[in-house]
Amino acid sequence: MDFKLSKTHLLQQELFRRFAETEIKPIAEEMDETEVFNMDLVKKLLRYGLMGIPYSRDYGGVGGDYLGYALCMEEISKIDASTGITISVHTSLACSCVDGFGTEEQKQKWLRPMVDGSKVGCFGLTEPNAGTDAAGQQTKAVLDGDEYVINGAKIFTTNSGFADTFVVFAMTDKSKGTKGISAFVMDRNTPGLTVGKNIHRMGIRAASNCEVAYENVRIPVSQRLGKEGDGFKIAMKALDGGRIGIAAQATGIAQGALNEAMKYVKERKQFGKRISSFQNTQFKIAELQTKIDAARLMTYRAAVSKDNHENFGPLAAMAKLYASEICNDVTRACVQLMGGYGYSREYPVERMMRDAKITEIYEGTSEAMKMVIAGSMKIS
């Protein structure tokens, strides 16, 4: 058991950290304020390979692993969670569905452009009336000859405002519940696919997050991923891996907030002393860093388990559950440590506190994570 990162991973970590500091930090506040993701930054994410880290060079990817991807998510999210989730949905969800269940022809046509820096992907599962209850979705795909006709709507589709490739799930047989869901991949310009306005949110405000309507969208059978009825399995597999990215994001947000708070308490003076000299402050910072390190180790464990082709799902759920909870605890505590300045927009910790909440919601709520963990323990 080795708790140290390899030289390769340390180098990757430094590269990701430098990219975040030089390319994202100068524009993070503006993106949050305007609620618009910087398209020049999207181009840089694609150009420098940050959107294809764990995918094979055979398809144009970086040829890295999931631990390297987790390092990327952590370092980017220390600076800006909106950029983190943009990478996460593209990598963990859209790309993984095609990589894991696509035919060779589908991988060449749809995966390659998403991992070689050409196109951005998004993932449409959630509906206005169907979140965790995937069987409750209303979007339908009806087979008509050698084409499917898709009708319905998806909501909270991250990246949809500028994505090129859409992975979407629809009912092909409502009577079969989750076994009646199928997965499809399509181009943004497919007739009948309409992307609505960005949904205004409390956090990750710069990320593109829209409602997408599918009205008599016709696509060939060749754009179905896997067999008819495989959709739920495909989505759950993608979400298992996605939770590692979200755990890394939550860890990064928490560490970023604590880094900002530590800089502040070393400079701020009260009662003639730096706040950092007070034992109460030192105790609190030590407690917060301990929680962050625990979340980090759980996240790395899940990532390495996935890289080793082990049963990583429960470990990913544990990491996501714990990291998202401590992320909220840490960011709130950092705002408190900084007092009124922490609450003001002069410092990024208030943005980090707003961003933290979503880590407990997307890729499965805390309650859903507990169900996954309990299920793996066979306690019922």
CA atoms 325, 81, 17, 283: torsion sign: negative
How many Å apart are CA 29 and CA 205, to the nearest integer? 10
Residue 172 to residues 96, 137, 194, 238, 379, Cα–Cα distance (Å): 22, 11, 21, 20, 34
Residue 302 to residues 53, 58, 192, 246, 371, Cα–Cα distance (Å): 17, 25, 39, 12, 17
Of 146, 331, 140, give the one whose Cα is nearest residue 253: 331
In the set 74, 211, 325, 363, the catalytic residue is 363
- The yes-or-no answer on residue 215 being catalytic is no
DSSP type of residue 130: B
Terminal C-alpha separation, the chain:
32
- Exposed/middle/buried for 35, CB within 10 Å: 0-12, 13-18, 19+? middle
How many Å apart are CA 10 and CA 14, to the nearest integer? 6
Residue 346 to residues 327, 341, 375, 376, Cα–Cα distance (Å): 21, 7, 45, 45
How many Å apart are CA 296 and CA 290, to the nearest integer? 10
How many Å apart are CA 250 and CA 294, to the nearest integer? 12
Task: Provide the 10 A C-beta neighbour count for residue 96.
Answer: 24
How many Å apart are CA 296 and CA 346, to the nearest integer? 28
73, 66 contact by CB (below 8 A): no
How many Å apart are CA 134 and CA 127, to the nearest integer? 9
H/E stretch holding 231: helix 231-267
How many Å apart are CA 342 and CA 227, to the nearest integer? 51
Catalytic residue numbers, as ranges: 363
